[in-house]
Amino acid sequence: MIELEGLTKRYGGKVAVDRLTFAVRPGVVTGFLGPNGAGKSTTMRMILGLDRPTAGDVRIDGRHYAELTDPLTYIGALLDAKAVHGGRSAYNHLLCLAQSNGIPSRRVAEVLDTVGLTAVARKKAKGFSYGMGQRLGIAAALLGDPRILMFDEPVNGLDPEGIHWIRNLMKSLAAQGRTVFVSSHLMSEMALTADHLVVIGQGRLLADTSMADFIRQHSRSYVRIRSPQRERLLDVLRADGITVVETGGGALEVEGGKAERIGELAARSGVVLHELSPRQASLEEAFMRLTAESVEYHARAAGPGPAAGDRGAAWKGA
Ligand SMILES: Nc1ncnc2c1ncn2[C@@H]1O[C@H](COP(=O)(O)OP(=O)(O)OP(=O)(O)O)[C@@H](O)[C@H]1O
């Protein structure tokens, strides 16, 4: 378990992480979500003792990182996949890590096998593709067979096969009872991977909830309607007590699942419909709404008041 208590980091006048209090529990994948600059990497660096908190505390199974003997056997992390000596082979890179951390060298072959790098184990890391580098970073995280694993944006830059592989790996590690903490700025990816969500914006905690609750609270269902007799349709729906929102492009929206009722009312009144489609707002939109206030890096060039979908431009990799 990872426990944060009022964790805070300031860089000069800038508050990167602001009084974060939450716990990351074993047996589930916990997604750590937030827009660019929200403070995810800084938080992870403090968990690993790489950055010193300005205030507050963070403990791994009740102890500070610096107090752990052979820390790689408690917590494995992938923070920066490029942090590998390129001149070394994958095997030697992992062997050095094993030897300096009291880990038996037989683990090297085991983790190379787990991440599918056995065939290229003797090749120099500098010749590796981005995906192979990610796999090597994950092999290093798994080396000490730790109960806690932490991955910073592990799917960034990966192809669909690599994304699928990492997703399944994280789920299987959690199913083994390990604590899995993974950051991302992509809600859609987390929706497929995480059981629990911690969302931050501008360093502050915005949500600490199960994925099921997040979906229940934030996924909005609505009906989209288009009609060449728009004004007549508006009158008919309003007369029936239905609240209609007029959206761009001449379309109308009605909250909830009232498609059948709307269709019947239109038919009864002889109003022609060109579209009557029940829709579900995506989790990505819910996430955007939740963090919109705290997005530090807005794509201002896109002009004021972008639509939810357009705001994707403000997100790394979007
Ligand atoms: N060493 C540093 N010195 C000054 N400011 C920093 C430093 N490291 C991070 N920051 C600032 O702290 C804030 C949080 O950065 P951090 O990298 O933790 O965010 P993040 O959520 O990981 O973002 P991203 O998704 O872009 O990686 C940002 O405003 C960043 O500019």
The arithmetic mean of pLDDT across residues 195-211, rounded, is 93
CATH code: domain of residue 197: 3.40.50.300
User: Ligand 1 in contact with 297 (CB < 6 A)?
Assistant: no
Report which of residues 90 and 290 the model is more confident about: 90
Residue 201, in any domain of the structure: yes
Q: What is the pLDDT of residues 231-259, one digit of tens each?
A: 999 999 999 999 999 987 889 999 887 89
Predicted confidence (pLDDT) at residue 155 exceeds the cutoff of 90: no
Predicted confidence (pLDDT) at residue 309 exceeds the cutoff of 50: no
Split at pLDDT 50, 70, 90, the class of 293 is low
Query: Could you give the percent of the chain with pLDDT greater than 90?
Result: 60
Predicted confidence (pLDDT) at residue 299 exceeds the cutoff of 80: no
Q: Tell me, what's the pLDDT at 132?
A: 86
User: Ligand 1 in contact with 185 (CB < 6 A)?
Assistant: yes
* Mean pLDDT of all residues belonging to the chain: 86
The arithmetic mean of pLDDT across residues 102-119, rounded, is 92
Q: Tell me, what's the pLDDT at 81?
A: 59
This model of the complex carries an ipTM of: 0.95
Which residue has a Cα nearest atom 11 of ligand 1?
16
Split at pLDDT 50, 70, 90, the class of 86 is low
Q: Tell me, what's the pLDDT at 20?
A: 97
Q: Domain range holding 41?
A: 2-217
User: Ligand 1 in contact with 39 (CB < 6 A)?
Assistant: yes
The arithmetic mean of pLDDT across residues 116-145, rounded, is 88
Q: Tell me, what's the pLDDT at 214?
A: 86
- Is residue 108 domain-shared with residue 176, that is, in the same domain? yes
**Cα-to-centroid distance, 303 and ligand 1 (Å):** 25
pTM assigned to the model = 0.79
Q: Tell me, what's the pLDDT at 178?
A: 97
Query: What SS3 string covers the chain?
Result: CEEEEEEEEEECCEEEEEEEEEEECCCCEEEEECCCCCCHHHHHHHHCCCCCCCEEEEEECCECHHHCCCHHHCEEEECCCCCCCCCCEHHHHHHHHHHHCCCCCHHHHHHHHHCCCHHHCCCEHHHCCHHHHHHHHHHHHHCCCCCEEEEECCCCCCCHHHHHHHHHHHHHHHHCCCEEEEEECCHHHHHHHCCEEEEEECCEEEEEEEHHHHHHHHCCEEEEEECCCHHHHHHHHHHCCCCCEECHHHCEEEECCCHHHHHHHHHHCCCCCCEEEEEECCHHHHHHHHHHHHCCCCCHHHCCCCCCCHHHHHCCCC
**Cα-to-centroid distance, 286 and ligand 1 (Å):** 23
The arithmetic mean of pLDDT across residues 49-73, rounded, is 93
Query: Could you give the percent of the chain with pLDDT greater than 70?
Result: 90
User: Ligand 1 in contact with 16 (CB < 6 A)?
Assistant: yes
User: Ligand 1 in contact with 202 (CB < 6 A)?
Assistant: no
**Domain final residue pick, 202, 217, 232:** 217
- Is residue 97 domain-shared with residue 153, that is, in the same domain? yes
The arithmetic mean of pLDDT across residues 47-51, rounded, is 94
The total number of structural domains in the chain stands at 2
- Is residue 263 domain-shared with residue 166, that is, in the same domain? no
**Cα-to-centroid distance, 53 and ligand 1 (Å):** 14
Which residue has a Cα nearest atom 2 of ligand 1?
11
Report which of residues 214 and 110 the model is more confident about: 110
User: Ligand 1 in contact with 41 (CB < 6 A)?
Assistant: yes
CATH code: domain of residue 251: 3.30.70
The arithmetic mean of pLDDT across residues 52-79, rounded, is 93
Predicted confidence (pLDDT) at residue 173 exceeds the cutoff of 70: yes
Residue 291, in any domain of the structure: no
Q: Tell me, what's the pLDDT at 171?
A: 96
Query: Which atom of ligand 1 has the smallest separation from the CA of 12?
Result: 4
User: Ligand 1 in contact with 316 (CB < 6 A)?
Assistant: yes
Q: Tell me, what's the pLDDT at 83?
A: 63
- Is residue 80 domain-shared with residue 96, that is, in the same domain? yes
